[in-house]
Amino acid sequence: MKALLPVYSRPLGYFIIALGLFMPLLMAMVGKVTDNNLLFYRECAKLLMMVGALMILFAQAKNESVATEKIRTNAMRNAVFATVLYLFGMMLYRVWKNDLMSIDSSSFLIFLIINILCLEFGLKKAHVDQLFKGKKQ
C-alpha cells in the first residue's frame, strides 16, 4: 500500500489524536460541556482521533521503500485480524454479562488504533532487524 500523505503528516496525526483525547477534558474543566452537548463533544473527539489515525497510516515514512509498503500492508492485515478478535471478545463479554443496553459504536476507531500499533511495531522491528544485519556483515 503506497503512502498518500507527506512525511510531516505522521507527527501531525499524533498531535490531532492527542487533541482529540484531551480537548473534551479541557472543555469540561472550563465548563463548556453540558448534558445537552456531551454527545456532540464525544463524537467530535472520535472524529478527530479517526482523522489523526488515518493521517498516521497514510503518511510517507522518512526512508520510504518497497519494504515499507509491505510492512504497511502486513499491518493492515494484522489489524483486521486483531480487531475481529477484539470485537468478538467484547461481544462474548456482553453476552456473558447479559448487557442488552451497550453497543460498540467505535469499531472503526479501534481498528485504526490497532492498525497504527501494528504499523509502528513493524517499522521498528524492520529497523532493528536492519541494524543487526548490518553489524553481522
Mean pLDDT of 111-119: 89
pLDDT value, residue 108: 84
pLDDT value, residue 4: 81
Mean of all residue pLDDT scores within the chain: 86
Distance of CA 113 to the CA centre of its chain: 2
Q: Which long-range contacts (CB under 8 A, 24 or more apart) does 81-89 make?
A: 82/114, 82/118, 83/107, 83/110, 83/111, 83/114, 86/110, 86/114
Distance CA 98, CA 14 (A): 37
pLDDT digits (tens, 9 = 90+) for 48-92: 999 999 898 888 877 777 888 888 888 888 888 888 898 888 888
Backbone angles phi, psi at 85, to 5 degrees: -60, -45
| Cβ contact 46:1 at 8 Å | no
Collapsed DSSP state (helix, strand, coil) of residue 92 = helix
